[in-house]
């Protein structure tokens, strides 16, 4: 049966957030999420490998965006300038839908250990990808790792503020957070 599935991926993400928020993650099924989205279970599994992944949709793309953004920084850019370029490139892709469901998404993840675990893993992966970009530019360890950590932290802090309705653009908030994190890192002693 061919089905009409425009925006199937986005509908599944929104349905997953709704279903998990209403009845808890553990007692929810893929079938329920698919049904809420008006799609089949088979369609769900064409987009996501398991019940957790709709909540992290796009996070693999963020790594690719960081890499592409970092590559655009000039050859003589400082580590912080490379991270800024990566953030600028990644934050530019975020949509009004993502802003709208950000707070509920974060609440669902925060309420379930199994989801917080996946979130921590995704975050670590994103930091590794950015570290690799920095190292490939000749930035040594541990500078590359620290710069990447600040970048990923800024990315997440800015997303929380942006999806709570703060600020004119995600990109501006991310730059602001990165500056604040860097200032904090230089004033520890």
Annotate 1-31 with b (16+ C-beta within 10 A) or e (fewer): eeeebeebbbbbbbbbbbbbeeeebeebebe
Residues 6+ apart with CB under 8 A from 53: none
Query: Shortest distance, CB of residue 16 to a copy of itself, whole angstroms?
Result: 19
Query: Shortest distance, CB of residue 123 to a copy of itself, whole angstroms?
Result: 7
Q: Rule CB under 8 A: say whether 176 interacts with a copy of itself.
A: no
Instruction: CB nearer to a copy of itself: give 39 or 70.
Output: 70
Q: Rule CB under 8 A: say whether 160 interacts with a copy of itself.
A: no
Q: What is the largest CA-CA distance in the chain?
A: 65
Query: Of 118, 180, 110, 119, which Cα lies nearest the Cα of 150?
Result: 180
Q: Rule CB under 8 A: say whether 149 interacts with a copy of itself.
A: yes
Instruction: CB nearer to a copy of itself: give 92 or 185.
Output: 185
Query: Shortest distance, CB of residue 187 to a copy of itself, whole angstroms?
Result: 7
What distances in angstroms separate CA 76 from CA 81, 138, 172, one per listed residue?
9, 11, 23
Q: Which residue has the tokens 């007692």?
A: 27
- Among the listed ranges 9-17, 97-105, 145-153, 165-173, the one in contact with a copy of itself (CB under 8 A) is 145-153
Query: Of 70, 96, 75, which Cα lies nearest the Cα of 152?
Result: 70
Residues 123-142 that bind a copy of itself (CB under 8 A): 123-124, 142
DSSP label at residue 138: T
Residues 38-77 that bind a copy of itself (CB under 8 A): none
Q: Which residue among 5, 146, 160, 167 contacts a copy of itself (CB under 8 A)?
A: 146
Q: What residues make contact with a copy of itself under the rule CB under 8 A?
A: 78-81, 83, 113, 116-118, 120-121, 123-124, 142-143, 145-147, 149-150, 153, 157, 177, 180-182, 184-189
């Amino acid at each position: 049966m061919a089905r009409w599935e425009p925006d199937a991926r986005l509908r599944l993400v929104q349905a997953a957030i709704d279903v998990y928020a209403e009845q808890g993650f553990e007692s929810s099924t893929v079938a329920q999420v698919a049904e809420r989205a008006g799609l089949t279970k088979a369609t769900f599994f064409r987009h996501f490998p398991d019940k957790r992944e709709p909540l992290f949709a796009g996070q693999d793309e963020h790594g690719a965006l960081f890499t592409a953004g970092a590559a655009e920084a000039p050859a003589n850019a400082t580590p912080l300038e490379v991270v800024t370029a990566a953030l600028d490139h990644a934050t530019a892709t975020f949509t009004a839908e993502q802003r709208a469901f950000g707070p509920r998404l974060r609440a669902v993840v925060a309420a379930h250990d199994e989801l917080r675990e996946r979130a921590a893993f995704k975050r670590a992966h994103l930091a590794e990808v950015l570290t690799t970009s920095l190292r490939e530019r000749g930035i040594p360890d541990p500078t590359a790792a620290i710069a990447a950590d600040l970048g990923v932290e800024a990315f997440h802090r800015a997303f929380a503020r942006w999806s709570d309705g703060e600020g004119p653009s995600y990109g501006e908030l991310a730059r602001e957070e990165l500056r604040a994190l860097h200032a904090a890192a230089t004033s520890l002693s």
